[in-house]
A and B are shown apart, each in its own frame.
Chain A
């Protein structure tokens, strides 16, 4: 019987792997997700046949309740709120793993073997850090607490001390295998929760994509760690896959923002960067939507650079209207998506797909950077730091960050409220370039005006 269960677990593992494999192309991605659903279904059903399970009332109640909440959340969530949703789900994953290992402990507190004596406190730690860290990330993204970095005195020292204490607790617990050291576990539970908070609270809103990716990885590691506790390979493998996924995304986001993970976690950017050089004497060429239309109509090729400001203004639909009209006239139009264009990895793509932009028009940075030099017009809406050529020079906050080569195009239209610098606080020389047309105003208003004028003609 247990061999049969193992075989089904292996099938589930294989299906998870195929599911992720199919995510490598938008054409097969939906099927891939269904594979993962099937894998999860098999894993759950097979587990119900486990000989340890004799009482189903809590199981049925729990699954029902969880499903109802899950369905409502998945249906209701707005696409702009995906980062919060993922943060919340990371939190649930973390706390679930922590509860599973605590439950395992309370089953036989007297007979904890060495394996469990190491893995239980370790899982509890990862699970709790994931939980409270994700809650803070959620609160920041949802604007429940200030998204600006919050730093208290001796922050680093406190963090270091907490980690040291936790290490000591884990070692003590492991060394006392066989004895019931509930006191150690309780302290560990509390301290781990505090660490999650102190880790995420000093991180600013702009760095949230990295944090969510990292917590995503943690939630996977927590699941894998709980697999070590209950000796189950499905948990170990699936958790490892998620852990790897989160790590890769974390790395991609760090590179796109030109930051090391260390710097994101302990750098507390945004503090003391208030001084922005004022662009006093430099000349800016001001244009109206009418001028923009003239330039756009005469272009053979156009690249659109959307930033998160566009999504905040809910201007994706107006933008796609403009794009559709230009394409009807025979203009080649593509979207250039910088990896940090949204609030989480790949976020901008989802927001544009929601506005019915076909995914063949969405090009990522590496794909499109060569094409700017042969492009007539670039239309920038709501983006700033990711097109700032100052990143190629040394000695400023953006130095070394990969950017979209917007400055190589023939002419540039930038829709923006003001000349204020982006998150990095670095003035953008592109605003004062001869070939740049600044159209000042709200992205949505301006795009609606442009599409209105295009429609009339």
Chain B
């Protein structure tokens, strides 16, 4: 298990570096959609929630998983939709003539 957590930490740190590289290239123009999009991505907790809610029990653990699914799904669905709504508004000038 200790080996497992070390690998996880490696993955985490490398992903943070990748994130920094990617995000610094996003222009200030798009920082709001970036935030709402990132927000939706953080709803990835949904994956964890699915396992917790789907184990077949009906105890406290399952209820917590069920609530987690609701919250994470709001985050995912709402976040991606509102990001798309915003990005749709960003239009380049139509070339007339």
Give the distance in Å from the alpha carbon of A359 to the alpha carbon of B31 in the complex: 13
- Across the interface, A93 reaches (CB within 8 A) one of B45, B53, B55, namely B45
Number of interface residues of A (CB under 8 A): 117
Q: Least Cβ distance of B61 to chain A in Å?
A: 4
Contact check, B35 vs A85: say whether CB atoms are below 8 A apart: no
Chain B residues contacting A285 (CB-CB under 8 Å) are none
Contact check, B78 vs A89: say whether CB atoms are below 8 A apart: yes
Q: In the complex where A24-B25, A33-B84, A224-B12 touch, is A89 in contact with B36 (Cβ < 8 A)?
A: yes
Give the distance in Å from the alpha carbon of A23 to the alpha carbon of B90 in the complex: 12
Among B22, B24, B41, B93, find the residue whose CB has the most chain A CB atoms closer than 10 A. Answer: B41
Contact check, A213 vs B20: say whether CB atoms are below 8 A apart: no
- Across the interface, B8 reaches (CB within 8 A) one of A222, A227, A349, namely A227
Q: In the complex where A58-B65, A107-B61, A235-B44 touch, is A79 in contact with B86 (Cβ < 8 A)?
A: yes
Contact check, B64 vs A24: say whether CB atoms are below 8 A apart: no
Contact check, B40 vs A96: say whether CB atoms are below 8 A apart: no
Among B48, B59, B77, find the residue whose CB has the most chain A CB atoms closer than 10 A. Answer: B48
Give the distance in Å from the alpha carbon of A213 to the alpha carbon of B28 in the complex: 13
Chain A residues contacting B36 (CB-CB under 8 Å) are 82, 85-86, 89
Contact check, B84 vs A30: say whether CB atoms are below 8 A apart: yes
Q: In the complex where A23-B33, A99-B65, A115-B4 touch, is A66 in contact with B19 (Cβ < 8 A)?
A: no
- List the one stretch of A42-50, A269-277, A371-379 in contact with chain B: A42-50
Q: In the complex where A53-B55, A75-B81, A99-B67 touch, is A219 in contact with B61 (Cβ < 8 A)?
A: no
Contact check, B49 vs A100: say whether CB atoms are below 8 A apart: yes
Contact check, A26 vs B50: say whether CB atoms are below 8 A apart: no
- List the one stretch of A14-22, A297-305, A394-402, A448-456 in contact with chain B: A14-22
Contact check, A248 vs B1: say whether CB atoms are below 8 A apart: no
- List the one stretch of A153-161, A339-347, A406-414, A422-430 in contact with chain B: A339-347
Contact check, A71 vs B77: say whether CB atoms are below 8 A apart: yes
Contact check, B50 vs A106: say whether CB atoms are below 8 A apart: no
A447 on interface, CB distance cutoff 8 Å: no
A419 on interface, CB distance cutoff 8 Å: no
- List the one stretch of A191-199, A238-246, A384-392 in contact with chain B: A238-246
Q: Least Cβ distance of B54 to chain A in Å?
A: 3
Give the distance in Å from the alpha carbon of A24 to the alpha carbon of B80 in the complex: 17
Among B1, B28, B43, B94, find the residue whose CB has the most chain A CB atoms closer than 10 A. Answer: B28
Q: Least Cβ distance of B12 to chain A in Å?
A: 5
Q: Least Cβ distance of B53 to chain A in Å?
A: 4
Chain B residues contacting A20 (CB-CB under 8 Å) are 19, 22-23, 26, 37-38
**Residues of B4-24 contacting chain A, CB below 8 A:** 4-5, 8, 11-13, 15-20, 22-24
A364 on interface, CB distance cutoff 8 Å: yes
- Across the interface, B54 reaches (CB within 8 A) one of A37, A59, A70, A212, namely A59
- Across the interface, B48 reaches (CB within 8 A) one of A226, A248, A365, namely A226
**B44-86 to A contact mask, C-beta < 8 Å, 1/0:** 1111111111111101111011111111111111111111111
User: Which residues from chain A sit less than 8 Å from chain B, CB to CB?
Assistant: 16-17, 19-21, 23-27, 29-30, 32-34, 36-37, 40, 43-44, 47-48, 50, 52-56, 58-59, 61-63, 65-67, 69-71, 73-75, 77, 79, 82, 85-86, 89-90, 92-93, 95-97, 99-100, 102-104, 106-107, 113-115, 119, 212-213, 216, 219-220, 222-224, 226-249, 252, 337, 339, 342, 344-347, 349-350, 353-354, 356, 358-362, 364-365
